Amino acid sequence: MTMPFNSSTFTITDGRRFKLADHPTELREHIDKDDLKKLLAEDREKIIDLQEKLYAEGRRSLLLIFQAMDAAGKDSAIDHVLSGVNPQGCAVTSFKQPGREELAHDFLWRHAKATPARGMIGVHNRSHYEEVVVVKVHPEYLIGQRLPDIASPKDADEAFWERRYAAIRAWEEHLVHSGTTIMKFFLHMGKAEQKKRFLERIDEPRKNWKFSIGDVQERAHFDGYMKAYEEAIRATAALHAPWFVVPADEQWESRAIVGRLVRERLERMSLEWPVLTAEEKADLAKAERLLKAE
């Protein structure tokens, strides 16, 4: 089914002129929910086939990074887009607040440990970008990292954050050169929609477990988070490690968009089934003869 929007609309490969305000939180043209579901179902089937080929080839990997404000639908997007993918070839890591061991290492350490092996699709539900978004909004968190040049939150100046962006750019470039394709998704949800979803979590008993008073308290910093995301995307968008700013006020829109983007990226990888050596082909023929002779 033809996608009723251009995927390039959401793609940021050069952040120098990037402004988050230029990107809406919902598609400008309404698309029927049933049509979006059909689009996603078609793309999901393609992703399942392409993931099998990625796993069989065993030379490259795909890393999907999801960032968003609370209640923007990261979990459901991951679930709907990758449902049916062989779990042997896919691993999802959800990053929570760092613990003692993680704080004793550099900020990329725990994320490097979770990068996908060759042949795998790795998903990071939140990522190293928390360190230049959440921590930028709350620089007091840096004290727990015991950095040699940070004695107080005021020490985190512009040069400090640029060093972190530079570290991220260098690390992502290293991953790409090592065979990992990177896709970074920001699910762009408006403040009014977040309020609506928080109220749903309170009103619907089956969603009460998702509710956290801390999430609501963080709404006071909503504008600060938007500024931090804009700065992070501007500093780290690259042709080899693009950002995708996906409207997320309507969840079926964001799911369908992410599904199409992942499918298209896997297709552009030109994955190939392994080519058997002459010896392997001979073994295959021998095995066939033995089986038919039984």
12-45 per-position pLDDT tens digit: 999 999 999 999 999 988 899 999 999 999 999 9
Distance between CA atoms of residues 85 and 70, nearest Å: 26
3-state SS, residue 91: strand
Torsion over CA of 147, 151, 156 and 161, rounded to 10 degrees? -10
- For the chain, where are the E strands, in sequence order? 11-12, 61-68, 90-94, 121-125, 180-188, 243-247
Q: Report pLDDT digits (tens) over 131-156.
A: 999 999 999 999 999 999 999 999 99
End-to-end Cα distance, the chain: 47
Q: What's residue 1's pLDDT?
A: 57
> DSSP assignment, residue 111?
H
Residue 199 has pLDDT above 60, yes or no: yes
Judge residue 22's burial from the number of C-beta atoms within 10 Å of its C-beta, 0-12 exposed, 13-18 middle, 19 or more buried.
exposed
Can you tell me whether residue 13 is helix, strand or coil?
coil
Side-chain-side CA neighbours of residue 208 (13 Å):
4
pLDDT tens digits for range 74-113: 999 999 999 999 999 999 999 999 999 999 999 999 999 9
> At 6, is the secondary structure helix, strand, or coil?
coil
The pTM for the full model equals 0.94
Average pLDDT score over residue span 253-261? 97
By the 10 Å C-beta count (0-12 exposed, 13-18 middle, 19+ buried), 170 is classed as: exposed
Residue 169 in this model has a pLDDT that exceeds 80: yes
Q: Which tokens sit at 231? A: 């700065």
Q: Which two tokens stand for residue 240?
A: 């080899």
3-state SS, residue 25: coil
Which one, of 111, 119, 143, lies nearest residue 56 by Cα?
119
| pLDDT score at 208 | 85
